[in-house]
A and B are shown apart, each in its own frame.
Chain A
């Protein structure tokens, strides 16, 4: 079966532009997570969706970051007015519920010039 997929694989944008990153979780997984990985660093939690519950947004670094999950499946992470410090790999993960193994996608490499 298909794993977690993310698009685009790479994104280069100019400072100040908005970007949208997409995540397709494993079918049937109710939990979806977004993480950010800066160069040579571990992963930093951003946001968590579980079913129809209100998302846990506690990791979003600023109000320029937002995410939505439509129909309990696909999720989009939006970064408005991008800054150079937003350059990182954005990873999405899904799990069967909020307590089981998280499966990660390959990530979107974002470079803000």
Chain B
């Protein structure tokens, strides 16, 4: 059973299109993080959202944390080939000591020129 369901798992789009990736759970998280991973490398943190309803923007990327802190979304506007990569959401559960991360399955994004 996957605690964090991430969708879609694969996404292939043309340069300039918009896209949204979702992470959903029935559990509440104290925070949720989004990572990007390139082939042969470890994940790199993009953003952390902590407050229910919080919206954070990073250039063309918009991250939102659900009001109930059970879900999150990543929206990319006008995608570029440089956005290609594996995007991972990860949550820290309430009452979890130590910051152990629960990861979604990942979204493999391919942006074609």
Residues of B within 8 A of A45 (CB): 100-103
The answer to whether B108 touches A98, judged by C-beta atoms less than 8 angstroms apart, is no
Name the residue on B nearest A41 (C-beta): B105
Q: How near does chain B come to A39, taking the closest CB pair, in angstroms?
A: 11
The answer to whether A4 touches B6, judged by C-beta atoms less than 8 angstroms apart, is no
Name the residue on A nearest B44 (C-beta): A104
Q: Which of B45, B88, B100, B102 has the most CB of A within 10 A?
A: B100
B90 at the interface (CB under 8 A from A): yes
Contact-residue size bin, chain A (C-beta under 8 Å from the other chain): 20 to 34
Q: How near does chain A come to B29, taking the closest CB pair, in angstroms?
A: 14
Scan A38-56; emit 1 where CB is below 8 A from any B CB, else 0. Answer: 0011111100101000001
The answer to whether B100 touches A42, judged by C-beta atoms less than 8 angstroms apart, is no
Instruction: Give the secondary structure class of B's interface.
Output: loop
Question: Given A105-B42, A106-B42: A43 and B99 within 8 A (CB)?
Answer: no
The answer to whether A43 touches B41, judged by C-beta atoms less than 8 angstroms apart, is no
B97 at the interface (CB under 8 A from A): yes
The answer to whether B103 touches A48, judged by C-beta atoms less than 8 angstroms apart, is no
A62 at the interface (CB under 8 A from B): no
Name the residue on B nearest A4 (C-beta): B42
The answer to whether A106 touches B40, judged by C-beta atoms less than 8 angstroms apart, is yes
Checking B42, B44, B99, B102 against A99 with a beta-carbon cut-off of 8 angstroms, the contacting residue is: B99
A91 at the interface (CB under 8 A from B): yes
The answer to whether A42 touches B98, judged by C-beta atoms less than 8 angstroms apart, is no
Scan A49-69; emit 1 where CB is below 8 A from any B CB, else 0. Answer: 010000010010000000000
Q: How near does chain A come to B112, taking the closest CB pair, in angstroms?
A: 20
Checking B4, B48, B98 against A56 with a beta-carbon cut-off of 8 angstroms, the contacting residue is: B98
Closest 8 CB pairs of A and B: A104-B42, A42-B103, A98-B98, A43-B103, A42-B105, A42-B106, A98-B99, A48-B98
Which residues of B line the A interface, CB within 8 A? 4, 6, 9, 40-45, 48, 88, 90, 97-106, 108
In the complex, 17 of the A-B residue pairs with CB atoms within 8 angstroms, ordered by the A residue number, are A31-B98, A35-B103, A40-B106, A41-B105, A41-B106, A42-B6, A42-B103, A42-B104, A45-B102, A48-B100, A91-B43, A98-B99, A99-B99, A104-B42, A104-B43, A105-B42, A107-B40
